[in-house]
Structure 1
Amino acid sequence: MQQFVNILIKIWEYFAANILTQPAYMIGFIVLLGYILEKKPIYESIAGFLKAVIGYMILIVGSNGLVSSFRPILAGLKTRFHLTATVIDPYFGQNAVTEGVVKTFGRTFGDVMLLLLFAFVFNILLVRFQKYTKLRAVFTTGNVQVQQSATAFWILLFCFPKMGRIEVLVVMGIILGLYWAVGSNLTIRYTQDLTDGGGFAVAHQQGFGIAFVSWLADKFKAHEKKVQKETKGLEDIELPGFLKIFNENMVATGILMLFFFGIIMLVLGRPYFNQLYVSTKGASGLAPNGSFLFYILTTSLSFAVNLAILQLGVRTFVGELTESFTGISDRLLPGSVPGIDVAATFAFGEPNAVTIGFLFGALGQFLAIAALLVLHSPTIIIAGFIPLFFDNAAFGVYANKRAGAKAAMLLPFISGLIQVFGAAFISSWIGLSKFGGYLGMFDWDTVWPFFTILMKFLGVVGIIAVIVILIAIPQLEYRHDPDNYFLMVTDYDKYKENMAKKTK
């Protein structure tokens, strides 16, 4: 029996290491399985697998290019001003847990992968029994699952430091599996509207945030209509004279990033980037004899390049995923959609909304960081590129789609404030700030601090309260519009017809 268990564990470890936590292959595996269930010819199934994997790899190239280029610039503010600070970034957060979990709680990071397994299986079961749970999205973004499993593991140990190993895995497996299912499920309606029936949900770090921002955008639009103000999207704004150059997405992105990152890079100074070149052995930074002016220009313009690469990747794999997932939804998980990386949404909205959302989110973050410095906060936050960009750019895209340009500016700005203040509070309280990093994405600065308060102060009652809240959310969503709730996934055209009739 023990030998059989060991074999199962090894199979799981292989699957987790090579497929589940590798989003490109996870998406490819889903596409392959979907086409096989649809009884497509094997050569078409393999071609779909390859196209999905390659498309997602292209997306990763663009995404990693953005992160690797701009993370050192923002982290450099910590070095330049000699701040003892916490970087809000999923990878800094994961490293903080890895470093601190043994010292603080005497536990091993290996349990995080078991937690991921518990939560992922529970997510699938919740979707399988959607008749009762009303949950329709399977969380497939493996690298994000690892980051969240690490932070969730720490949070539960902070709340219940004496809880046994099995109890930790079961309790947080249930909570995290519910969060993945509920958070991605919340994005379905708004993502279907954005993509005109794209057939996927967002499974990242801001599912509750997307739903909240979209809901606020709808309220914002209703108010504009009430006071008889015209709602203009970014795509509707015609700029006069020389400002017309900003109507071209790549040009606008290049100029705005040159202004934004150019100022930061000038503040950091040439010596920092020369030192970065040495410390990374030429992988990044400025060579001693290089031109600082053209280094700034090249780095800033690479934002537009990597964003274009990312959008190409999305267009390459999303079509395959949408078409093939019908096989899975028809046979294994009826009425469901895959939850994928938030970056997939960037190819569907107004292109400039990505840049505007990022910039106004950055403005909010920097003002909040300045407030922490003025108020002598015990924890100073350093802006991490991933929350700065992937949260706020997405919020800009959704807000612009639903309520126009003003919402695309205002709502990411508010998000930036929330990200910094929320991260400063929770990272200090649970003790991750002293290890230099916290996950820092929108849901983990809002929803998870609330869950932590409930569990820390109410104990077992708090655990039950968190579970009940998560179970109740999709039930309330369903009751709001039971006739169209599943229809928006199974027949989007019919759903659109019904919604058009309602608005007449």
Structure 2
Amino acid sequence: MGILNAIWTFFATYILQKPPYMVGFLTLLGYCLMGKKWYDTLAGTLKAIIGMLILSAGSGGLVTNFRPILAGLKDRFNLTAAVIDPYYGQNAVTAGVEEVFGKGFSQVMTLLLIAFIVNILLVRFNKITKCRTLFTTGHVQVQQAATAYWLILFALPALRDNNFALLIVMSVILGAYWAVGSNLTVKPMQELTEGAGFAIAHQQMFGIRLASWASEKLFGSKNGQKEVKKVGDLKMPGFFSIFSQNMVCTAILMTVFFGAIMTVIGKPFFVKAEAMKEKDNFAFYVFNTSLQFAVYLAILQLGVRTFVTELTASFQGIADKLLPSSVPGVDCAVCYGFGDANAVTFGFLAGLTGQIIAIVALILMGSPTIIICGFVPVFFDNATIGLVANEKGGLKACLVIPFISGLIQVFGAAFISGWVGLANYGGYLGMFDWDTVWPMFTVVMHYLGYIGVGIVVIVLLAIPQIEYRMDPKGYFLITEDYDAYLEHKKAKKGA
């Protein structure tokens, strides 16, 4: 028993919680099931791990680059508020869960394991459940398990004295959310990537599907009569044509936008924060810091190209042998290697504008909970939503939908973090689904108790059933044979 426990502890610590090695493990498993030669398996596994490490370096660099600016905004305007950021949110739960609920944080990892098993079972029996995606982003699972732990303890006080019931309720809800949420992104991602064979397993899965639907309905071409203008279709005269180059566009926009913010914050703060030295030139520091955003975004896109081919190819072995008709759910940054790269930047800036306006509104209204925007929600939510919106509704959708998302992120986070008490500990997860779907779950369970739990689970499990009935033939075809799905879609439209 001790050996099994040691093996599980190692797996949970060094594989399940570390996305590069979780993706590497899935790639290794897939190629082994496919019967690949050992050297092909080794090469593919290493490429998948290295690609994810490159992606992590890009993502981590973006976050690290932004955090001094975030801290400067807080210091410059003397705001005491909750930061909407997954890491701040996880730290807030860790700091407050024992004080508020008398519970230890150690149960979160047990919750994560059982919820992951629920996800696997829902996908294994997908002919019944209609769930096609396995949630593979371990760091996101840890963040979500922590926040769900707090929200459900708040909503259902009776569970605080019953650890077994607590784990079962939480695991079923969270496991169903992982399976159903990532499943909702299959269609948008397959259409964006032209059948690359992955879904998104992140923090804005319902947001992605909602953005795809709203963009197509509100901004898309009506009956094919007129093609919508996308970000890539912008015809800019003269020197404006440089904006058609992704790196240049990102560098210029970030320099203008963050240059202004950093100038307002001022050099003394960055010197005090040891981000720069007193003797350094502030203008050059601002320019260099702004350019780093373009650098890290390019690194991130390189990581995507490096590992996504290996993962999707190897996952075919898992799908054929263990989880038929399924696809892997991966980090949202994976989709940035597809579609129009400039839509990522446009979506991010539109979302950031929405967040800033919402924060100003909270201050003017005298809200008891003030939100400070974190880079992870403002970038990874809105860049992803902008990319999907541009694909379905063009430039207008790419600007409007992420802008609305930015408003929702701040107002939703202010409501739920203030209500449940997480704001008192300085942070909340703050990403789209956790500002919309999870607050609704919490309200329903808080006021309806165990009946509310039943309603939440039933609604979640009903979503893929409804989606399946809207297109029974194309539902599994889109993951099994994308070319055949396109033919089916064309025939359906013609009928």
TM-score after normalising by structure 2 = 0.98
SS at match of 1:197: coil
Query: Following TM superposition, by how much is the alpha carbon of 1:228 offset from its aligned partner in structure 2, in angstroms?
Result: 6.5
Partner of 2:200: 202
| 1:460 alignment partner, one of 450, 455, 458 | 450
The answer as to whether partners of 2:219 and 2:396 remain within 8 angstroms in 1 is no
Distance change in 2, residues 1:471/1:410 (3 Å): same
2:99 aligned partner: 103
Pick the aligned partner of 1:234 from 231, 235, 239.
Answer: 231
Does the residue aligned with 1:333 lie in a helix, a strand or coil? coil
1:226-375 → structure 2 map (5 Å cutoff): 230-277=227-274, 285-375=275-365
Per the alignment, residue 369 of structure 2 pairs with 379
C-alpha displacement at 1:227, in angstroms?
12
Structure-2 separation of matches of 1:155 and 1:436: 16
SS of 1:339 mapped into structure 2: strand
Structural RMSD (CA): 1.2
- 1:18 equivalenced with 2:14 (yes/no): yes
1:57 pairs with one of 53, 59, 63 = 53
1:226 CA drift (Å): 7.1
Contact persistence 2:351–2:402 (CA under 8 A): yes
Distance (whole Å) between structure 1 residues aligned to residue 47 and residue 74 of structure 2: 41
* C-alpha contact 2:378 2:406 (8 A) present in aligned 1: yes
In structure 2, relative to structure 1, the CA distance for the partners of 1:226 and 1:330 (3 Å cut) is: closer
Unaligned stretches of 5+ in structure 2?
none
Q: Is the 8 A contact 2:20 2:48 kept in 1?
A: yes
Paired position in structure 2 for 1:498: 488
Deviation at 1:230, TM superposition (A): 4.9
Tell me, what secondary structure is at the counterpart of 1:225? coil
Equivalent in the alignment of 2:385: 395
Equivalent position of 1:144 in the other structure: 140
State the distance in 1 between where 2:117 and 2:225 align.
50
The offset of 1:77, in angstroms, is 1.1
In structure 1, list runs of 5 or more residues that go unmatched. Answer: 278-284
1:268 counterpart letter in structure 2: I
Q: Partner amino acid for 2:426?
A: G
Residues of 2 paired with 1:107 and 1:378: CA distance?
27
Task: Indicate whether 1:416 and 2:406 are aligned.
Answer: yes
Per-residue CA shift, 1:286-315, capped at 9, x if unaligned? 112111111100100111111000000000
Residue-by-residue CA offset, 1:435-461 (whole Å, 9 max, x unaligned): 000000000000000000000000000
* Cα deviation code 1:354-396 (max 9, x no counterpart): 0000000000000000000000000000000000000000011
* Contact 1:75–1:384, Cα closer than 8 Å, also in 2: no
Q: Distance in 2 between matches of 1:468 and 1:503?
A: 32
Tell me the alpha carbon deviations over residues 26-56 of structure 1, each in whole angstroms, 9 at most, x when there is no partner.
0000000000000001111111110000000
Asked if structure 1 preserves the Cα contact closer than 8 Å seen for 2:137 and 2:329, the reply is yes
Secondary structure of 1:382's match? strand
Specify which of 122, 125, 133 is matched with residue 121 of structure 2. Answer: 125
Letter of the aligned partner of 1:270 in structure 2?
K
Query: Could you tell me how far 1:162 is from its partner in structure 2?
Result: 3.4
What whole-Å deviation, never above 9, does each CA across 1:398-437 have from its counterpart, x for those lacking one?
0111111000000000000000000000000000000000
- Percent identity over the alignment is 59
Match of 2:130 among 123, 128, 134: 134
* Number of the residue aligned with 2:32: 36
What is the letter of the counterpart of residue 183 of structure 1?
G
Report the 3-state secondary structure (helix = DSSP H, G, I; strand = E; otherwise coil) of the residue aligned with 1:329: helix
C-alpha contact (below 8 Å) 1:75/1:383 kept by paired residues: no
